[in-house]
Every structure is written in structure tokens, then in C-alpha cells.
Amino acid sequence: MAEADHVLPGGSTDRPEANQVPTEPSRPAVLPRKAVVVGGNRIPFARSGGSYAHSSNQDMLTAALDGLVARFGLADQRIGEVAAGAVLKHSRDFNLTREAVLGSALSPETPAYDLQQACATGLETVLGLANKIKLGQIESGIAGGVDSASDAPIAVSEGLRAALLDLSRAKTLRQKLAAVAKIRPKDLAPDAPSTSEPRTGLSMGEHQAQTTAQWKIGREEQDRLALASHRNLAAAYDRGFFDDLMTPYRGLTRDANLRADTSMEKLAKLSPVFGKNFGSEATMTAGNSTPLTDGASTVLLGSEEWARSQDLPLLAEIVDGEAAAVDFVHGKDGLLMAPAFAVPRLLARNSLTLADFDFFEIHEAFAGTVLSTLAAWEDEEFGRSRLGLDGALGTIDRRKLNVNGSSLAAGHPFAATGGRIVASLAKLLHETGTVGGRPARGLISICAAGGQGVVAILEAR
Amino acid sequence: MMAQSPQRDATPTHTALVADSYSRFVNGRLGRGVAGRLGLPRPAVLRRYAPGEALIPGPVLVLGTTPGADALAQVLLEWKLDVRRHAGPKDKLGAIIVVLDDLASPEELSEPIRSAGASLRGLRANARLLTISRPAGAELEPEMAAARQAVDGILRSLAKELRRGATANGIILAEGVTTTDVGTIGAVRFFLSGRSAFVDGQFLCVDSGAGQLPQSWDRPLAGKVAVVTGGARGIGAAIARTLARDGVVVVVVDVPASGDQLAAVANSIRGTALQLDITAAAAGQRILDHALARHGRLDIVVHNAGITRDKLLANMDAARWDAVIAVNLSAQLRMNRDFLGSAALTGPLRIVSVASTSGIAGNRGQTNYAASKAGVIGMVRATAKLLAPLGGSVNAVAPGFIETDMTARMPFATRELARRLNSLQQGGWPEDVAETIAFLASDAAGGISGNVLRVCGQNLVGQ
């Protein structure tokens, strides 16, 4: 990797600090109108190679759409726009979302577009459609995401690809033979997708292992978070929380990764899988990291007027969203630390503090990611020097964190995670109603490959 | 599970969409001759309802000399039917209606019944024979009670004599109910039509003049909102589709584990899916909330969800017994309490429960299932009076052998025997159960409440 030469070991550059919180909130005082979450639907998430091993992204996204259509009686209706995406995507799926719409019970006159922002794809589709609704461009929208690690695209090697393209252009036998002759045995090995960062060659887990160590997050703390995720998700299932958020698929009725009976003892027995170069200090195991997962999720959005005119429920309002990115290439920040900067900016713009939230949905790419982010927010030095605040951003009440479980238990089909979180949080906020005389409020934080992060605020309706 | 159950709450098969293979064979060119020479049963291809088709192929002979007979004949004329009051020698009749609404003594039966008999040879395939009579209550003079009860024996025997898909059914009018009251008209039309294809040898009682005829007989349930439990598969899915065809916006309910099939059913009929365990305490309220919030009303509830956990009683454990009672009976009782107690339901609510012939005749290995289904029949009879004040009604259908995925998994010989053990010599289709339910859920059946109508092709077991 040529770019790897530029990585600075110390984690500092001479560039100016670009991720600071602006001192003046800049949110317009009057917004055109509001966008609300009507509901959601997802299929249970399967472990890679499991129940959905032979399902394509299009199959799963169509199934998730059809379940949503059935829940809200949208058969043959035209929706303003459907936006979804997949991270691991075949080139033939260039119109994945539109194709899924055509295969679903929605009106074929429903337009659709694909979007891709790594693990933030799902949340970004929600924010994009919510913005269109707020601007009055559409009345309704379905946001979503899907990913299959089982049915991942496998490409041919660069050498074989170049030779095949030459061959297709060759006119004479001699040219054809010349093209074929360029193929070397090593070119025949397929090129499978990986979760490695193109600019560093390191896997996401190895990146997080560095961040986890940097923020001195211990093994037990990570295992405890994983345990809470499994217990919270299992409890949510047991009380029927997902009955109107999920539609079974291919015989799966619950997330296959969920281990309701896991324990600190069981988690403690697992060997580290990332950061092994830290030796006995390695902390990241298969238990406190998300596995490769297959699944799809959808969220039904609308203007308040549309939802009411259709006699549909209003669960929560999409208040605002923010994206951030970090310079992980030069080691300035950890790969998955962008939300640590996005959230303070979002809070400042909305004149809110962490104390103003009743629920926090911080995507558990790894337990270490959540805990590193929380540690950064609690760190006075980080708050002063990196965020430009007077001190630490703040501490969150852990009882408000991922109360119905998150990705460590449910699994993480990359683009589908945003939809899972938005729909679950919207329902939770609606159930909670008001807190201290104001609508219950939730914060979503999702980290993504490429050093990115997208965060959002939802309020109960 | 044991395989003898005549009715299962199960999935339709492709065999349900066409006649079973034996029926196909004996109705084919080759098989017809073979079956005829060997004296084998030749089950008819039944005439089933499709919107827009003629109510009844062929003339309708109305027998009886009472004013009620005249009035009914007048209604049939208004439907543009070819109505005869006397049989001609060469008539190929589509239906015979014997009106016996003023019987006083057994001797009065001879003339009209023998007149009907004289016309039987000229009946077309899939013809209909109807009797209209009065209940033989214990409070009557013995002579009158005898005459009226005699109709029961006549009808049930006659149903067994008819061939080629023809059926015989009876309508019993409570005192004061006329032959042209809504419920009578509704029942006559149901029995004449292909909707009643697999109903044979049965009586339906019209208790009152309540109800309302539809504006369009092709969409008799237009504008109504219904909930169908167990709607993901089999008979439940057929009920949902049939109601939707008749104009209903349907909420299909099933356990969350069946959600994908439920979604497919909901989307195919532009309804909504509600994933719900009906044994949950809040089930009735959640159904109410969903129907009212999304669709603004709730007119029809079809309690179809049911399970079997078959075992001989000697081997029955608590789990098997309790689960069947909880799903098939207790859940219905609890939900009905919620519906009846709801101030939000202001119109006439129509409830139809799916019982089973097992609940009437019993079935080896099904004490739990038969208890639950017999319980449903008891519940329906006792609930009728609670719904009456608002004009509502509650009835049950008891399916016999219905062609579903579950009956398709029965051992061959057992299935073949069970299938032929009725006057129509074949299994019914989920759609046959659904059509009967759609009728009982209609305002035209508003005067019919507390009934149990079998959809069994006059199964030899039970009544």
C-alpha cells in the first residue's frame, strides 16, 4: 500500500484541527416541516453461511420490504421514494433497490435509488429521505439496507481481468493468443472481498484493537458490554418487542447470533482474535466483536400529514443528523472514532447535552468501539484539545445504552444496521412517550469504514 | 400427531386447487367407463362460486301452496331466475325449493315431498334441493312437532340420494320469520349458489328478521373490515382471500413465527398483517387497536386459528391438553370479551368461529381437540344473546375433511377413506369453508345467530 508510507506513528499531523465543535449553533430556527418514523420491518439477522447462505441481497431486501408493506397495508401503493443499499454488492446489482421494489408488493411506479456509505448506509438513507420529506419533495419514503456476507461478490484478480478485457478487444487469432498468454497461474486465484481498509491494509478489527488499546479499554469491560447486549436483546424478544418490527425469513424467527444464555464466564473463555500483537494484553474476542452477518432492514418514513391521512402511526420524529470523518490513515484518530466528533457537533447545533437524552443507540461494531467512544467523551483533554470544548463532553448513564440490545447480539449486516436501530429506537421512544414533560429523546451513533460516522437525533411522537 | 383428524387448520395444497387424482380419473373419458362398469363411486366436479356467474344453472321449481311459497317465488323472479310452480315433464331443473312453512300434520308432507321426488330424475348436475320449514319445538302440539321434525329425516335422507354434485339443505324459520325476511333470502341465495358447494344435508336456522341485504350480490361485504386469525396458511388464508374478494379490508393475524407467510397473504389482498399470539392477554385489545387505528372500524371477526396436539387420552400430557384448549378455545373466549366490552364497536359485530366435525362426532386421539371445538360450539350458542342487542351475530362452521397440506400428509389409505366418507364422496376445499364463513359474516345473514353449520359434504359421522 503506497499510502501506508504516509502513516505517522505518533498520531499527529501539522494540519489544523478540523473536527472541532463550532461555537455558534447553525441550525435554522424554522424548518420547512417534520419527517416521522411510521414503523419498520426487518428480517432476523443470520450468521454468515447460515440460514440465508443462498439468499441474495435482492432476495433479502425484497422480503424486508414485503413485510413492511404487509404491516402497513401498502400493497400496490406508490411510495415517494425508496432508498437502500448494500456494502458488499455485486456489480450486477447496480439498481439493487429498484429491483427489490419491482419484486415487492409495492406499486412498480415507486422510484428507488441505491446509496452506500459503508456501515452508515442504513442511517444515511433514513436521513436523506427524511430531508426530502422535510423539504416537501416527497410525502413518504422507505429507507433500508441489506448485506450478505454469505453471498458476497467474488471478483477475478486484476491480472486475469486485464487479460480478459484485452481478449475481448482482440480481433486476430494472434492478438487473442497474446492476450491469453499474459495470464499467469497466480491470476487464477479469485479476489474475495475483505473488511480491510484499502489505505492501511489493516482489517477493521485490527484497527479497533489499536483504538481499544489506546483508550485502555479492558477485556472485562468489553465482555460486560457484550453480555448486556445479549441479555437486553433476549429480554426484548421475550416481551414481544420485535413482534411488529420483524418478519421471519427462511425459517429464522430470531437473530441467529443471539446467545440468551451467555455469561461472563463463557465470554471470558474466548481467545483474542484481534490485536494479537498486544500478546497477553489482547482483549478483542469473537464474543465482544460482531460476526459477519446476513440480513436486511427497512424503515417507513413520512410527513406528519401523510402518516395521518393514511391512518398510520407516528412513532418518532427524525430531528437532525450529522456525519463526521477522521484521519485514521495518518493515525490521528482510530478508524471507528468519527462519531466521537459527529455527536458533539450535532448536540451543539441542537443546543443539547448528553444529559438531555433518554436512550443511546451506539452501534456495537466492537464492544471496544462503544467503550472507546464513551471514553473519549468522558476525557477532559479530548474535549478541550480535539473538540474545542471547555472540558469533557460528558458521561452517559449506562442504563440508557442499547437497552434492547445491539449489534454484538443481533449481528451486523453492514447496511442493514441503521434501519434496525432507527425502527427499534422509534418504537421505544413512542412507548416511552414523554419524559419530564418533553418528548423522549434518543441518540443514534454509527461508525463506518473509511473513518466515517453518522449520528442522528430522534424524538418521540 | 395422529392422522385421523377430519379437519386440520392447515395449508392448502395444489391438490386443493384441482380435484384429487381419483376424482380426476373417474371423471375422465377412460375412467368414467371403468368406474361405471365396476360400480365405483364417481365424485362429481362441484360447482363453485365465481363472481358474475349465474346463481343457479337451470329453472327453479318452488313447491308449496302457502303465501310464503308465493312470496319467495316472487323474490326469485325478481332475481331473473326461471321460476316454475309446477314441474313439467321434460324440465331439467337447477333447483327445487320445498316450502313447508305452515306444516300442521305429517299427512301434509306427502304431496309436496312426492312432487319433489318426481322431479329428481330431471335434476341437473350440481343442482340444489332446499326445504324451508319451522322448528319442531317441545312446546308444540305433538302432531305439529312430529310433522316438522319429519322434515329433518327427509332432508338428511334425500341429501344421501342425490348424485352428481347435487346437495340438499334445509332452512328453519323461527316463529314470526317469513320466507322473504333478510335472513331467509340470504340463506336461500347461499344454498342455491356455488358458495355452498360442500355444504350438504345441513339445516340453518333463521332466528329473526334482523340483517340487511347487500347493494351488490357480487360484493356483498363491501366496506367492511374483518380480522382473520390464523390467516397465514390453509383455511385461514382462503378465508382472508374470500372476504377480500367480497369487498372486505382484511387484517390477517398469525403468530410472529408465521410472519413471512402472513405478509404474503396480506399483500396479495391489500390487507394488513398483524403478528400476534392470540393467547396473550392483550390480544383482543391489540386487534381492536389495530383495526380501529388503521381501518377505522371492525365489523367481522373470524376465529380460525387452531392447533392439534393429538394423543390418546391415556398418553395425553398437560402440555398437549393445555395448549390446544388455550389456543382453540380460551383465546376466543377472552378476545370475545374484549370485543363485546369495547365501547368503540358501535355497529353490528359478526363473529364466526371455526369448529370441527371432531367437536360434534368426536375423534380417536383428539379428546383435547374435540373438547376445544365442542367448546367453541357451546360458546357460540351462548354468545348469540350477548351480541343481539347491537344487531350482531355469532356462528360457527364445522369443516369435515378439507384438502390441506396437513390432510395431504395423512397415510394414503386413511386419507382416501376419510375423503370418500361423505355424500359428495370427496374432500372439500379451504375455499368451501371460506365461502360459508363469508356468508355467515354478511349482513344478509344477520338473522342467523348461534348456528353451527357443517361444511362436510354430509360426512357420515355425527349429525
CATH number of A46's domain: 3.40.47.10
Higher pLDDT, B462 or B127: B127
Write down the pLDDT at residue A25.
66
For the stretch B398-416, pLDDT in tens is 999 999 887 888 888 888 8
CA-closest candidate to residue A125, choices A410, A398, A397, A416: A416
CA-closest candidate to residue B251, choices B275, B226, B268: B226
Domain count, chain A: 2
Window 356-385 of B: residues touching A by CB (8 A cutoff) are none
- Mean pLDDT of the region A255-272: 95
Asked if A48 and A163 sit in the same domain, the reply is no
Taking phi first (over 0 means left), then psi (-120 to 50 degrees means alpha), and beta for anything else, what does residue A401 get? Answer: beta
3-state secondary structure of B206: strand
Q: Indicate if the pLDDT at residue A10 is higher than 50.
A: no
Asked if A183 and A200 sit in the same domain, the reply is no
Q: ∠ CA A271-A272-A278 to the nearest 5 degrees?
A: 135
Asked if A106 and A166 sit in the same domain, the reply is no
Q: Do A105 and B260 touch (CB under 8 A)?
A: no
Q: B334: which 3 cell numbers? A: 377472552
For the stretch B46-85, pLDDT in tens is 999 998 889 998 999 999 999 999 999 999 999 999 999 9
Q: Which residues of A are catalytic?
A: 119, 412, 447
Write down the pLDDT at residue A104.
97
Q: How far apart are the C-alpha atoms of A311 and A331, rounded to whole Å?
A: 51
Q: How far apart are the C-alpha atoms of B170 and B148, rounded to whole Å?
A: 12
Asked if A170 and A310 sit in the same domain, the reply is no
Residues of chain B contacting residue A62, judged by C-beta atoms under 8 Å apart: none
Identify the residue whose cell numbers are 411510521. A38
Write down the pLDDT at residue B368.
95
Write down the pLDDT at residue B12.
40
3-state secondary structure of B329: helix
Q: Indicate if the pLDDT at residue B30 is higher than 90.
A: no
Asked if A431 and A414 sit in the same domain, the reply is yes
Write down the pLDDT at residue A193.
67
Q: B355: which 3 cell numbers? A: 369448529
Identify the residue whose cell numbers are 370418500. B420
Q: Indicate if the pLDDT at residue B367 is higher than 50.
A: yes
- A98-107, A145-154, B110-119: range with highest mean pLDDT: A98-107
In the predicted model, what is the mean pLDDT of chain A?
92
- Mean pLDDT of the region A423-448: 97
φ/ψ of A10, rounded to 5, equals -80, -10
Domains with residue ranges and CATH for chain B: 7-12+213-455 (3.40.50.720), 60-192 (3.40.50.720)
Where does a domain end: A171, A188, A205? A188
Indicate the pTM of the whole model. Answer: 0.88
Nearest residue of B to residue A74 by CA position?
B270
Q: A207: which 3 cell numbers? A: 484497527
Q: B337: which 3 cell numbers? A: 370479551
For the stretch B126-176, pLDDT in tens is 999 999 999 999 999 999 999 999 999 999 999 999 999 999 999 999 999
Residues of chain A contacting residue B263, judged by C-beta atoms under 8 Å apart: 66-67, 69-71, 247
For the stretch A354-368, pLDDT in tens is 999 999 999 999 999
Q: How far apart are the C-alpha atoms of B213 and B1, rounded to whole Å?
A: 43
Helix ranges restricted to H, B305-451: 318-325, 331-341, 358-361, 367-387, 405-408, 412-420, 430-440
Residues of chain B contacting residue A311, judged by C-beta atoms under 8 Å apart: 293-296
Asked if A264 and A178 sit in the same domain, the reply is no
- Mean pLDDT of the region A254-276: 95
Residue A267 belongs to domain spanning: 1-154+196-461
Does an H or E element contain B169, and which?
Answer: strand B167-173
Q: Indicate if the pLDDT at residue A387 is higher than 90.
A: yes
Asked if A298 and A278 sit in the same domain, the reply is yes
CA distance B10 to chain A (A): 17
Task: With beta carbons less than 8 A apart as the criterion, state whether A316 and A300 touch.
Answer: no
Q: How far apart are the C-alpha atoms of B441 and B445, rounded to whole Å?
A: 7
Q: Indicate if the pLDDT at residue B226 is higher than 60.
A: yes
Q: How far apart are the C-alpha atoms of B71 and B57, rounded to whole Å?
A: 22
Q: What is the DSSP string of B259-293?
A: HHHHHHHHHHTT-EEEE--TTSTTHHHHHHHHHHH
Nearest Cβ partner of A253 from B256, B270, B277? Answer: B256
- Long-range contacts formed by B34-41: CB under 8 A, 24+ apart: B41/B420, B41/B425
Q: How far apart are the C-alpha atoms of B405 and A155, rounded to whole Å?
A: 43
Q: How far apart are the C-alpha atoms of B217 and B50, rounded to whole Å?
A: 12
For the stretch B345-364, pLDDT in tens is 888 999 999 999 888 888 88
Nearest residue of B to residue A237 by CA position?
B256
Q: Indicate if the pLDDT at residue B1 is higher than 50.
A: no
Residues of chain B contacting residue A313, judged by C-beta atoms under 8 Å apart: 293
In the predicted model, what is the mean pLDDT of chain B?
91
Write down the pLDDT at residue B405.
82
3-state secondary structure of B128: strand
Identify the residue whose cell numbers are 398469525. B254
CA-closest candidate to residue B112, choices B143, B84, B86, B83: B86
Q: Indicate if the pLDDT at residue B206 is higher than 80.
A: yes
Write down the pLDDT at residue B348.
93
Task: With beta carbons less than 8 A apart as the criterion, state whether A266 and A93 touch.
Answer: no
Asked if A119 and A238 sit in the same domain, the reply is yes
Q: Do A311 and B293 touch (CB under 8 A)?
A: yes
For chain A, the first-to-last Cα distance in angstroms comes to 49
Q: How far apart are the C-alpha atoms of A33 and B151, rounded to whole Å?
A: 71
Where does a domain end: A137, A167, A188? A188
Taking phi first (over 0 means left), then psi (-120 to 50 degrees means alpha), and beta for anything else, what does residue A201 get? Answer: left
Give yes or no for A73 touching B (CB within 8 A): yes
For chain B, the first-to-last Cα distance in angstroms comes to 26
Task: With beta carbons less than 8 A apart as the criterion, state whether A355 and A389 touch.
Answer: no
Write a three-state SS string for chain A: CHHHHHCCCCCCCCCCCCCCCCCCCCCCCCCCCCEEEEEEEECCCEECCCCCCCCCHHHHHHHHHHHHHHHHCCCCCCCCEEEECCCCCCHHHCCHHHHHHHHCCCCCCCCEEECCECECHHHHHHHHHHHHHHCCCCCEEEEEEEECCCCCCCECCHHHHHHHHHHHHCCCHHHHHHHHHCCCHHHHCCECCCCECCCCCCEHHHHHHHHHHHCCCCHHHHHHHHHHHHHHHHHHHHCCCCCCCECCECCECCCCCCCCCCCHHHHHCCCEEECHHHHHHCCEECCCECCEEEEEEEEEEEEHHHHHHCCCCCCEEEEEEEEEECCCCCCCCCCCCHHHHHHHHHHHHCCCCHHHCCEEEECCCEHHHHHHHHHHHHCHHHHHHHCCCCCCCCCCCHHHECCCCCHHHHCECHHHHHHHHHHHHHHHHHHHCEECCEECEEEEEEEECCCEEEEEEEEEC
Task: With beta carbons less than 8 A apart as the criterion, state whether A299 and A37 touch.
Answer: yes
For the stretch B281-337, pLDDT in tens is 999 999 999 999 999 999 999 999 999 999 999 999 999 999 999 999 999 999 999
Task: With beta carbons less than 8 A apart as the criterion, state whether A353 and A394 touch.
Answer: yes
Residues of chain A contacting residue B270, judged by C-beta atoms under 8 Å apart: 73, 75-76
Count of A–B CB contacts within 8 Å?
70
Q: What contacts A68, CB < 8 A, 6 or more positions away? A: A39, A40, A41, A74, A142, A298, A300
Q: How far apart are the C-alpha atoms of B438 and B248, rounded to whole Å?
A: 10
Q: What contacts B174, CB < 8 A, 6 or more positions away? A: B134, B135, B205, B206, B207, B208
CA distance readout (Å), A416 to A355, A373, B433: 28, 22, 42
Write down the pLDDT at residue A12.
52
For the stretch A222-256, pLDDT in tens is 999 999 999 999 999 999 999 999 999 999 999 99
Q: Indicate if the pLDDT at residue A90 is higher than 70.
A: yes
For residues B221-233, b (16+ Cβ closer than 10 Å) or e, as one string? beebbbbbbbbbb
Q: What's chain B's Rg over C-alpha atoms?
A: 22
CA dihedral sign, ordered B412, B418, B419, B420: positive
Q: Indicate if the pLDDT at residue B11 is higher than 70.
A: no
For the stretch A296-345, pLDDT in tens is 999 999 999 999 999 999 999 999 999 999 999 999 999 999 999 999 99
Q: How far apart are the C-alpha atoms of A284 and A273, rounded to whole Å?
A: 6
For the stretch A128-173, pLDDT in tens is 999 999 999 999 999 999 999 887 777 778 888 888 888 888 889 8
Confidence of residue B7 (pLDDT cuts 50, 70, 90): very low
Asked if A302 and A217 sit in the same domain, the reply is yes
Q: How far apart are the C-alpha atoms of A258 and A408, rounded to whole Å?
A: 8
DSSP 8-state assignment for residue B454: E
Residue type, B190: F
Helix ranges restricted to H, B41-168: 67-78, 110-119, 142-161
Q: How far apart are the C-alpha atoms of B394 and B449, rounded to whole Å?
A: 5
Where does a domain end: A188, A207, A237? A188
- Mean pLDDT of the region B373-400: 95
DSSP 8-state assignment for residue B330: I
Nearest Cβ partner of B263 from A66, A76, A243? Answer: A66
Q: Indicate if the pLDDT at residue B220 is higher than 90.
A: yes
- Mean pLDDT of the region A199-210: 92
CA distance A398 to chain B (A): 31
Does an H or E element contain B81, and which?
Answer: none
Nearest residue of B to residue A242 by CA position?
B256
Burial of B110 (0-12, 13-18, 19+ CB in 10 A): exposed
Task: With beta carbons less than 8 A apart as the criterion, state whether A257 and A47 touch.
Answer: yes
Nearest Cβ partner of B259 from A69, A248, A313? Answer: A248
Please count the other Cβ atoms lying within 10 Å of the Cβ belonging to residue A279.
8
Asked if A250 and A165 sit in the same domain, the reply is no
Q: A395: which 3 cell numbers? A: 458521561
- Mean pLDDT of the region A445-449: 97
- Mean pLDDT of the region A57-63: 97
CA-closest candidate to residue B416, choices B406, B426, B431, B402: B426
Asked if A52 and A180 sit in the same domain, the reply is no
Give yes or no for B289 touching A (CB within 8 A): no
Asked if A344 and A215 sit in the same domain, the reply is yes
